[in-house]
Amino acid sequence: MMLLKHTKRHFYGVHHGSTFLEWHAKSGPAIRVRLDTVHAKLGNPILPSNAHDPESIDLEAIQEEQAHLEGVGVDFYANGSQESAVPEVPKLDVHRSQPDA
């Protein structure tokens, strides 16, 4: 679970420690319902709670990658168009010789 502390302007992991125990010890609705309530009050979109369709995960990953690349100014279609294979190491023909005794 992640907790956003607006005063600190970043996220905290609360999967351990007193905050997590405190949240689970409180009576009332589940954390997911609480999150949806907060999002609704803030006017943020409510995240879908249904499970992902395994067939759509590949497409979603591509769309996420495209959004991230566009966000940093990289052309999605040009990304990966250059081959980046490891160059082949040439074999050297080494002649060994030993001094005459």
Is 77 a member of any domain? yes
In a domain? residue 97: no
Number of domains in the chain: 2
Q: pTM for the complete prediction?
A: 0.32
Assigned domain for 93 exists: no
- Burial bucket for residue 14 (CB in 10 Å: 0-12, 13-18, 19+): middle
Domain that holds residue 12: 2-50
In angstroms, the CA 7 to CA 63 distance is: 32
Are the C-beta atoms of residues 39 and 46 closer than 8 Å to each other?
Answer: yes
**Is residue 96 assigned to a domain?**
no
pLDDT at position 92 is 78
Q: What is the pLDDT of residues 13-72, one digit of tens each?
A: 556 667 667 777 777 777 778 888 888 888 888 877 776 676 777 888 888 888 888 888
User: Are residues 46 and 59 located together in one domain of the fold?
Assistant: no
Residue 36 and residue 65 in one domain: no
User: Do the domain assignments include residue 90?
Assistant: no
Contact 28, 39 (CB under 8 A): no
Tell me: do 18 and 43 sit in the same domain: yes
